[in-house]
Structure 1
Amino acid sequence: MALVAFCLVPASAAQAQDRPSRIVSVNMCADQLLLALADRDQIAALSWNAPRPALSYFADKADGYDLTRGNAEDVIVRKPDLVLAGPFSGGPAKAAMRRAGLNVEELGIPGTPQAAADQLETFGLLIGQGPRGAALAGELRDAFAPREMQGNRKLRALYLQRRGIVTGRATMMDALMRAAGLENALEADGFARLDAERLATVDVDLLILDGQGLTEDGDAADQGAAMLAHPVLAARFPPSRRVVVPQAETVCPGPSLVRALERLREAAASVAPR
């Protein structure tokens, strides 16, 4: 289970006085946590993805902030007291920042709702906003708390992304499905790829889409989503058997998961089994 890569002690008055005041994020998911928890004057710059609605859940809050593409020179010149980065990309840039004496912290990628809530708490402490982090973590835990499900059979759902990529067990989307009272139709762990013929025969009540490659009416707009225009699939999965959970609500595990879960619960309550 991947958690934030930093370790923290409980917040204190001294920590509050040392609250970072020039934070630079070079990671889209760090952007989301900052926009959810930080004071505006704490943020010196966000990553260039922060204002993109297709990826950033808090894109509307990113207006007016300086943006950076994360190269070392652009970050160092801003003289941040904290740099937030991801665990995988930008290795040479992160190394250069550290050689320049900057405090660079890397965020892990939570794999479960509980891990996402833990990360919110830890992140809040890191930026001197412990109470806010704890409050949002509590909201996330409450949203995913077990509920009594109605009905005799769980609806079978499939999360379909561009070019036939589907999501199986042991993933955050699988956790979302289970919390919404849905059964994941892909029984394997991880990810797989289905062609149109296989998708036409799989036992699925509800198709979950991320909205990428679709028009406002839900039609395929490019080759990535073209299989949804197949006559058999269009008939088998009409709009009433589809729900769009925007990618911005799931790509970064955090506060946005609450809204994604609400969408799935609403769909589960409105769709009848086949």
Structure 2
Amino acid sequence: MRRLPGIALALLWAATGAFAGPSRVVTMNLCADQLAMMLAAPGQLASVSYIARDTRASAMAKEALAYPVNHGLAEEIYLLKPDLVIAGAYSTPATTGMLRRLGVAVVVFQPALSLQDVRARILQMGQVLGRKDAAQVLLAEYDQRLAALQDAGPEAPRAALYAANGFTSGSMTLAGQILRAAGLRNIADELGYARSGHMPLELLAMSAPDLLIGTSPYPRASRSEDNLAHPVVRQLAARSSAGQIRDADWVCGTPHVLRAVETLAEERRRFVEKEGSQ
């Protein structure tokens, strides 16, 4: 089985009900790591990427301790004897190319750019793992939680996503959709940032958002984060009792994005109650 070309092997698993799925799976992408940990059968997942244990980036760092880690190198992954490797669109092409030449099946997952994409990635992971029933259960839970949240209306508070180097995200990004699902309007949309881009500090100040959604600074100093220490940014951030987002809940298109939505929805409720009492 392992010597079939990667694409042919993946198609075989997806097309036949006679074969339950791969028995030794290695993931080498943070987002694939987490979806696989949520859906894999006991003993099916042989290794996850080392980033899966990084509490700054991974929403499942504790769960990842139960798995051996890899560093995305073709040699180490091949020696794990996987019958399926799951990579991301930005995984090292040299690694995935070498694994395919060695006869290892490789499936590449695209990043989720919307809340709808999260649904698609859950189903895709269920398919390639041969765990369609488990994926349907996870998807139903995701849909139920998402349906209980409130989309932004015309009177919703105005919020700004603002990260290192003035990075912001509009409505055609996963982060922008998280903001909207929480019942907040995104000033990036007002300013023409449909996707992601750099928002000058002056624009941020003139837009006067009701809430500023910042990011958690990394332990080592970086000039890219200097903008987050500016007095204007600090003044805007002081209006938000939530302060900073937990990056790990925002990074990947997994059901963990709903924790970010729920946190912002609670922040919106506090803001509306505060404004209503004045």
Q: Return the TM-score normalized by structure 1.
A: 0.85
Q: CA deviation at 1:205?
A: 0.6
Q: 3-state SS of the aligned residue for 2:130?
A: coil
Q: Are the equivalent residues in 2 in contact too, given 1:176–1:261 (CA < 8 A)?
A: yes
Letter paired with 2:19: Q
Other-structure match for 1:200: 205
Map residues 1-274 of structure 1 onto 2, 5 A cutoff.
9=14, 12=17, 14-16=18-20, 19-145=21-147, 153-187=155-189, 188=192, 189-213=194-218, 222-238=222-238, 240=240, 242-272=242-272
Q: 3-state SS of the aligned residue for 1:250?
A: helix
Deviates more, 1:172-181 or 1:226-235: 226-235
Deviates more, 1:156-165 or 1:195-204: 195-204
Paired with 1:61 and 1:137, the residues of 2 have a C-alpha distance of 20
Aligned sequence identity (%): 30
Q: 3-state SS of the aligned residue for 1:126?
A: helix
Paired with 1:110 and 1:151, the residues of 2 have a C-alpha distance of 24
Q: CA deviation at 1:234?
A: 2.3
Q: CA deviation at 1:241?
A: 5.3
Instruction: Label 1:157 to 1:214 Cα distance change in 2 as closer, same or farther (>3 A).
Output: farther
Instruction: Kindly indicate which of the two structures has a greater share of residues assigned to helix.
Output: 2
Q: CA deviation at 1:240?
A: 3.1
Paired with 2:55 and 2:154, the residues of 1 have a C-alpha distance of 38
Letter paired with 1:23: V
Which stretches of structure 1, 4 residues or more, deviate above 4 A after TM superposition?
5-11, 146-152
Q: CA deviation at 1:35?
A: 1.2
Paired with 1:64 and 1:148, the residues of 2 have a C-alpha distance of 36
Q: 3-state SS of the aligned residue for 1:44?
A: strand
Instruction: Label 1:241 to 1:158 Cα distance change in 2 as closer, same or farther (>3 A).
Output: farther
Letter paired with 2:229: A
Count of residues in correspondence between the two structures: 262
Deviates more, 1:249-258 or 1:230-239: 230-239
Q: Are the equivalent residues in 2 in contact too, given 1:212–1:247 (CA < 8 A)?
A: no
Deviates more, 1:224-233 or 1:72-81: 224-233
Q: Are the equivalent residues in 1 in contact too, given 2:31–2:252 (CA < 8 A)?
A: yes
Q: 3-state SS of the aligned residue for 1:80?
A: coil
Q: Return the TM-score normalized by structure 2.
A: 0.84
List per-residue Cα deviations over 1:238-262 (Å, max 9, x = no partner): 1535542211111111111111111
Unaligned runs of at least 5 residues, structure 1: 216-220
Q: CA deviation at 1:147?
A: 5.5
Q: Are the equivalent residues in 1 in contact too, given 2:216–2:245 (CA < 8 A)?
A: yes
Instruction: Label 1:105 to 1:150 Cα distance change in 2 as closer, same or farther (>3 A).
Output: closer
List per-residue Cα deviations over 1:78-119 (Å, max 9, x = no partner): 110111111233112111111111111111112221221122
